[in-house]
Structure 1
């Protein structure tokens, strides 16, 4: 099979995610005690009553603190960003629609890939170039794009920001081999996988979660900043949780899977 190579000059600016966390404050309770004037018995009763009242307040504070304790996630777990985009004639950079690409991998790697929408079994006289860009945290596993890729690129319908990316191999029965998402659920293009936030933990400026990845009879819970393994349709995947929290500005999720 002959492939057509094109020199492409498409560049994409990559969006970033800004996470702003605001901390709340607290105020101290002030108790003012008035001196009692009278006989010693009256003063003794007054002091006794004051001690009892103070003890009651202490019990109330202890109960409140205990009930506020929730999950077991670390409030100091590092959060990192990821971003991705697929840009071409039918998937403009300023667009808001989902797009599924099939065609040829031309060249590239480590986050910048040049593609052509010409079918793998065709020889096209006119190039139909696309550029796939992926920005990941340090040491994250970038995908190896197959010769005949199928790429599902989905955007958030409200903000038009990238939501998920699933890369599959057309020469391998369209089996997925790499995916990334910035939402708290699995992409619809990966029906074998289920993702859910678990173990909610109250932190001063956010609610921290872990992510539970499930497929078939296997599951794994991965805390923010950590990785785990999961069997999906007989293949071992590495699952990475880079961000899984709810802040005052909204939800912040970033995770990926690679086999």
Structure 2
């Protein structure tokens, strides 16, 4: 089996996973409140008011909480997702709120937009789920206008939660030689990936100016490593926040 065929099969498996249960769907009508309560990093990092009057693309809309927040702040919003389920949920929520925006099914590895289409590209906890994540990370930069803001969260491999995954899927199953990379692949949808700051710089550093990549300690780290997770602070956090601006050349 070629790498390309294997990647497409994995992508279909990822789509089927999220089609069965959109991210956050289990929280029902409280999804937005619970999302921002568990992950207060979202509104802080997004800075939704900064989208006013700008063209904003969200890659991976899930239940639509963030896209609605951008729209409520006055942004012209476009959202894409790999699943029909997420697109349907988000489109309905926009209409119910009396907000306008375009939401459609699309592949993060091959975004259906010309170069330089958006002022802000936002993606929270999504791009590490697609098999060719590095391609997707570069696609997010491709569709940015010169000077546009790139704001993405992916999972951090050198984190407490990744270590907990290794304990669960490696150590406790008599597979101590399992790598953190393989352990993380068992989290959420099939083949989930996690990165280091260096890998992110190597992937998009040539496309973005003033690139900042920093881990953040999360609720999920504190949950799997209570007390001890505070010792290293954000250095071993599960979220890797990636921010930069499209190079002007």
TM-score (norm 2): 0.27
Relative to total residues, which structure has the larger helix share, 1 or 2?
2
Larger Rg: 1
Relative to total residues, which structure has the larger strand share, 1 or 2?
1
